[in-house]
Structure formats: C-alpha cells, structure tokens
Amino acid sequence: MSILVDAGTRLLVQGITGREGEFHSRAMLEYGTPIVAGVTPGKGGQAAVDGRVPVFDTVEQAVRDTGANASCIFVPAPFAPDAILEAAESGIGLIFCITEGIPALDMVPVYHVLKSRSVRLIGPNCPGATSPGSAKVGIIPGSIHRPGSVGLVSRSGTLTYEVVQAMTDAGIGQSTCVGIGGDPIIGTSFIEVLDLFNQDPDTDAIVLIGEIGGEEEEHAAAFVAREIRKPMAAFIAGRTAPPGRRMGHAGAIISGSAGTAEAKRQALELAGVRVADSPSHIPQLLRDAGAG
C-alpha cells in the first residue's frame, strides 16, 4: 500500500507541452504512471510526448473526457497560482505544483481556497511523490527507489534523492516518498503527511527530512510525540547556516533562536525520533530502530 499516488492515479499534466513538462512527463510515463491528459491553452487537439498524451485547452475539458483525478503543474510562476485554482475548480482533488519562484503573497489566497474545498496541494516548489513500483508524480528520479515499507517526507528535493538512494543502497525500501516543498506557504504540512503514513498499514517506519527556518519541524515533533508509534529517523539540514541569512529555500531563514537546526533536532529527539548527523546515517538509524 502507499499514500497519495498509486496505480489508480489518473494524472493530468498542466504545461505538458513546455520543455520541463514534456521531459518529466516522459519520465513519469516510462515509470508506469498513467498520464491520461495534458493541458496547454491554445494547443487542444494535439498530442504530447511522442503522441502518447492527448492535449486539452482546459482542465475542465480534460477531466470530463479522461476522468483525471490528479494534476501535476509545470507552469511558469506568474501563471501557476491560476493553474492550481483551475485544477481545483475542475474537480481535481490532488494537485502537485512543481513550479518554483511563486511569490508567497500570491499563494496566500490560493491556500485558503484549497482548504475551503478540501483539495490537497503538494508544493509549490516541490519534487512530487513516488510510490515505488506503482507510480511517480513530479521530478524525483524513478531509478533511486526500491519498494518497501518506509515512508519518507521531506522539505528538500535534493536531500530526498540523497536519502532515498542511501536507503535503497542499504536494501531498505520505501512505501511512498513525498517532497512537500520548501516555500513559506505550502499546501501540505509535515503533520498531514505524517498522519497519512501513520494510518497506512503498510508503512512500518517513517523518515523526516527537514531544514532550518520556520517551525514546521517543531510542530511535527509535537505531533509525533502525541500520535506516532512507528519507528522514526530524521535529518535536519543547515547546522552551519548563519542567523538572519536566507539559505536555499525561501522558507529557510533563521530568526533569533527560532528555526535553528539545533532547536529542531532537540524537539525531534525529545519526541523519540532518532536524528542523523548526515543523510547517509539514516539507514543505520532505521536499522537501530528495528525498521527496514
């Protein structure tokens, strides 16, 4: 079993005829993800990705004709908020927004609209999600995965790849790997994904990859202490980052004592989570916890 994406996912790709959209759609198709439609206004009636995917002018028409139930967005930042809202208004219940560089102020009204409609957004500025052997949505390389029972949730795309590869090399498979994105305003939090993994009977252990900035990891630690009884390991990036300086993601900025790697590490350890000193240390911590 997995969370969010599986063999029943019927994916629609917004921006499929662009360079990034077509490149990653081809990779998703090769992995086995059912992409049933693409959307690019003005290109309806064409076919993308070597003629394998029909293209529609609107999400509404694509959903009506193909039964798409999830969307992956590769639309430039100025147009991505409208693309998210179009997907939600057309009945898509699960949206992945890969686009980076969307201003936080543009995402605030989108966030509230989605919450009012009970639509789940992963991202923006995220790598997507993969349920190994079943489906992948987004830009995570399919080759690094191994089917298994460890769920992973991360704010960082590149650290997701590094930790998944380390787990696979160690013979530890994954149930689903989810990148939630590192922007200040994102659609789905650590807590929401942790809760999904907690309820998934085929996820036996969980890995959390966090970074400096904000308080999401501290909130996640409090949730773990209250609710999670499955073994967990974690890694927090940015231990050497100077206070007050933005590092990488738009959300990765330290203010005073809040948001530091050490504060996050302490909160997770108090919640019973084993915290790694490096991404490559994660497999050993999972073994120590009896997982994998």
pLDDT value at residue 250: 47
| pLDDT tens digits along 49-69 | 999 999 999 999 999 999 999
Short-list 131, 119, 96, 129, CA closest to 13: 96
Residue showing tokens 């997995």: 2
Q: Where are the alpha helices (DSSP H) in the chain?
A: 19-31, 59-66, 80-89, 104-117, 157-169, 190-199, 216-227, 261-270, 282-288
| pLDDT tens digits along 256-286 | 455 788 999 999 999 999 999 999 999 999 9
- What backbone phi and psi angles, to 5 degrees, belong to 133? 80, 0
CATH topology of domain 140-288: Rossmann fold (3.40.50)
Can you tell me the mean pLDDT for 201-215? Answer: 94
Whether 249 is catalytic:
yes
Short-list 91, 127, 93, CA closest to 209: 127
Distance of CA 144 to the CA centre of its chain: 16
Can you tell me the mean pLDDT for 5-27? Answer: 97
Q: Do domains 11-122 and 140-288 have the same CATH topology?
A: yes
For residue 279, is the peptide bond before it cis, meaning its omega torsion is within 30 degrees of 0?
A: no
Distance CA 44, CA 226 (A): 50
Q: What is the pTM of this model?
A: 0.93
Whether 81 contacts 97, CB under 8 Å: no
| pLDDT tens digits along 29-56 | 999 999 999 999 999 999 999 999 999 9
The CATH architecture that domain 11-122 belongs to is 3-Layer(aba) Sandwich (3.40)
Percent of the chain scoring above 90 in pLDDT: 86
Q: Sheet holding 70-73: strands in order across?
A: 47-48, 53-56, 35-39, 11-14, 70-73, 94-97, 120-122
Distance CA 224, CA 140 (A): 26
The one-letter amino acid at 28: M
Locate 269 and state its tokens: 């350890």
Distance CA 211, CA 220 (A): 13
Domain residue spans in the chain? 11-122, 140-288
Q: Which of 24, 112, 145, 249 is catalytic?
A: 249
Distance CA 241, CA 104 (A): 23
For residue 210, CA distances in Å to 83, 98, 207 come to 28, 18, 10
Short-list 40, 35, 42, CA closest to 59: 40
CA diameter of the chain: 56
Report helix, strand or coil for 156. Answer: coil
The one-letter amino acid at 72: C
